Structure 1
Amino acid sequence: MSIGRVTTNQLWTSSMQYVQASKARLSQLSAQASTGIAITKPSDDPVASASIMKVLAQQGANTQYATNINDGLGWLSTADSALTSSENLLRQASDLTVQAANSGTSDAATRSAIATQLTGIRDDLLAQANTTYLGRSVFAGTSDAPAAFDPTTMAFAGGTATVPGGGAVQRRIGPGAGDSVTVSADGAAAFGAGTVASPSVFQQIQSVIDALNSPTYGTDTSATGPQATITAGISTLKTALSTMSAQHAVVGANYARLESAKTQNATTATDLETQRSGLQDADTTKSIVDLKSQELAYQMALQVTAQVIQPTLMSFLK
């Protein structure tokens, strides 16, 4: 049995390799202890790194969903407030129309005062219908129209050449196919399209105003005369209020869905962070213990290397 010759150079190289490896391990443990992260690059643990990347992607998507939800809540909250105010205004208009239709109290001065009040209500309703959120009309859908309703024609102005009425503004709140919620309100459905088949509430109120200001009031008693128009206005405004309330309910349902999604999103965010932490974060106590042990091992490696690599005869001959 022969024993291979170990040269000084081999001994030096082997010792330095061990010292360097010990120093690298010490640096890694020091980084873990200071940052609290066990895996900082794929080479640290390729299998765990793949799982970490997947969880991080899910966290990014969930964060975007949270942003979409908050934006959607802003849209719907704005629409809800506008519809609440609009319903109150429409009730006032309806009450004034009933008052105007009462021939026993509707003299010229009273009719003029009611017409003035209705004009103010009409203008306030138009302002509510043209409410915006972050510079976009909440009742015009995806349309880029400056206002949902034209102040002059009082007709629905939302929509484009390719999308009549405008498409609904939606926000994705989850990864599922059905996880999209409409965050805009249907202006044409809530206030009327402003067409012959579907006159807007502003046009309906304007009809009552025109009838109250008509010079033939009291003389034209035909089915299309001023008094008949005012009487018909009671029914049309009541129907308009019912239609608006139905659209308000749609907005409320979508808002409730987003509120529920917000709670679920927060729960998902917590679960994903727990997963990421379990895969990537270091055990603080274990990291400190391992660091102290590695510091001792490194110091011992230096001491042993210093003892083993003693000066040789060649050192004295230099």
Structure 2
Amino acid sequence: MTTSQLYASAAANIQTSKARLSQLSDQSSSGLAVSKPSDDPAAAQQILGVLSQQSANSQYSTNIDDGLTWLSTADSTMTSAENLVRQAKDLVIQAGNSGTSSAASRNAIAAQLEGIRDDLLNAANTQVNGRSIFAGTSDAATAFDPTTFAYNGPTTSTTTTAPGGTTTTTVSSVGSVQRRIGAGSTDSVTVSADGLAAFGSGSTSVFAQIQGVITALRSGTYDTDTSSTGPQATITAGIDQLGTALTNLSAQHAVVGANYARMTSAKTQNATTATALETQRSGLQDADTTKTLLDLKTQELAYQTALQVTAQVIQPTLMSFLS
């Protein structure tokens, strides 16, 4: 082998050793065994796949936290609303049982019912981050109009005709707020509450029912009008109406509770998935710190040795330049 060939071979060996030393140094400082595709193309492709899954799982985690905020707010609000409707019903029963009550006592009950009506309306218009939790996908300022008690969320009407020719129109809410919690086609959870089903709308709403009792209690014909449409009859009917209203509210509360339980379960699963994905990524991408440091020291020694041996073996002479 000529001297020039020896030089070329030695230089190649030194460059290879230097490149390996540089790679180990980068791994030691970054903590990554694969920091760019050229380090390990096959592993890099797998890492990109895992990182994509981690990004999606992180977004699901954000969705879940936001959904839990909506549902926990709806849950506590509906608990308060149920208590308010119970109080209203108890007061109406009290008013109905007081056949000899005075106008003053009736006015006192009416005043209490006014407060309950207003508190109930405020509860029904509860918001999360500027969005009403009872108005579905509507961006209306309130779920219920404070004057007419009309529901402001999106609705749809269905008309049916009975065999006798009687037609009935049913109005129901549409457009619930959803949060995606996973990649599956069914991995979405409703986080809004059905305000229309829970509270009713307009003249058939629980607010209007309470208002009807208030008006009856303050009627100037309370003691004299005992007809089927008079103030006393209104109060009697109000007891049943509020009982039905409480049943409707409790049914929707149960729906919220079921969605909350599902969202809580999803949060646990999301955390488990996050741990599994990070373990997978680490196994593919992270360097073994102890092994990397040992290999680095070994390679540093090998590189220095290669430099010293090459310098000693290849001593340039006049003949080296002539060969």
The question of a shared fold, defined as TM-score above 0.5 by the shorter chain, is answered with: yes
Pick from 205, 209, 212: which aligns with 2:210? Answer: 205
Give identity over the alignment, percent. 72
Alignment of 1:227-266 (within 5 A): 227-266=232-271
Instruction: Say if 1:156 and 1:192, in contact at 8 Å, map to a contact too.
Output: yes
Aligned-partner Cα distance in 2 for 1:235–1:55:
58
The equivalent residue for 1:6 is: 2
Instruction: Say if 2:50 and 2:277, in contact at 8 Å, map to a contact too.
Output: yes
Pick from 53, 70, 83: which aligns with 2:65? Answer: 70
The equivalent residue for 1:123 is: 118
Aligned-partner SS, 2:219: coil
Q: Which is worse superposed, 70-79 or 210-219? A: 210-219
Kindly state the Cα deviation for residue 262 of structure 1 after the two structures are TM-superposed: 0.6
Aligned-partner Cα distance in 2 for 1:105–1:12:
120
Aligned-partner Cα distance in 2 for 1:134–1:110:
42
Give, as a single letter, the amino acid of the residue that structure 2 aligns with 1:174.
G
Aligned-partner Cα distance in 2 for 1:160–1:102:
39
Kindly state the Cα deviation for residue 46 of structure 1 after the two structures are TM-superposed: 1.0
Kindly state the Cα deviation for residue 23 of structure 1 after the two structures are TM-superposed: 1.2
The equivalent residue for 2:286 is: 281
Structure 1, residues 50-104: CA drift from partner, whole Å, max 9, x if none?
1111111111111111111110000000001110110111111001101111243
The equivalent residue for 1:176 is: 184
Normalised by the length of structure 2, the TM-score is 0.91
Kindly state the Cα deviation for residue 7 of structure 1 after the two structures are TM-superposed: 4.4
Aligned-partner SS, 1:171: strand
Aligned residue pairs total 309
1:154 aligns to 2:162 (yes or no): no
Instruction: Say if 2:172 and 2:196, in contact at 8 Å, map to a contact too.
Output: no
Structure 1, residues 269-301: CA drift from partner, whole Å, max 9, x if none?
111111111111112222122111111110011
The equivalent residue for 1:30 is: 25
The equivalent residue for 2:198 is: 190
Instruction: Say if 1:143 and 1:160, in contact at 8 Å, map to a contact too.
Output: no
Aligned-partner Cα distance in 1 for 2:19–2:289:
19
Pick from 46, 51, 54: which aligns with 2:49? Answer: 54
Alignment of 1:307-318 (within 5 A): 307-313=312-318
The equivalent residue for 2:166 is: none
C-alpha spacing 1:232/1:110, structure 2 compared with 1 (3 Å): same
Aligned-partner Cα distance in 1 for 2:283–2:77:
47
Pick from 93, 109, 112: which aligns with 1:114? Answer: 109
The equivalent residue for 2:162 is: none
Aligned-partner Cα distance in 1 for 2:244–2:193:
19
C-alpha spacing 1:45/1:105, structure 2 compared with 1 (3 Å): farther
Aligned-partner Cα distance in 1 for 2:301–2:308:
11
Q: Which is worse superposed, 152-161 or 209-218? A: 152-161
Kindly state the Cα deviation for residue 310 of structure 1 after the two structures are TM-superposed: 2.0
Structure 1, residues 153-204: CA drift from partner, whole Å, max 9, x if none?
011112289x984510000101111110000000001111225xxx111000
Instruction: Say if 1:99 and 1:106, in contact at 8 Å, map to a contact too.
Output: no
Aligned-partner SS, 2:179: strand
Aligned-partner Cα distance in 2 for 1:61–1:204:
47
Larger proportion of strand: 2
Aligned-partner Cα distance in 1 for 2:3–2:14:
18
Aligned-partner Cα distance in 2 for 1:283–1:277:
10
Flag structure 2 segments of 5+ consecutive residues without an equivalent. Answer: 157-170
Aligned-partner SS, 1:181: strand
Instruction: Say if 2:72 and 2:260, in contact at 8 Å, map to a contact too.
Output: yes
Normalised by the length of structure 1, the TM-score is 0.92
Aligned-partner SS, 2:202: coil
Structure 1, residues 214-245: CA drift from partner, whole Å, max 9, x if none?
11111111111111001000000011001101
Instruction: Say if 1:119 and 1:209, in contact at 8 Å, map to a contact too.
Output: yes
Aligned-partner SS, 1:220: coil
Pick from 243, 252, 272: which aligns with 1:267? Answer: 272
The equivalent residue for 1:134 is: 129
Aligned-partner SS, 2:148: coil
The equivalent residue for 2:165 is: none
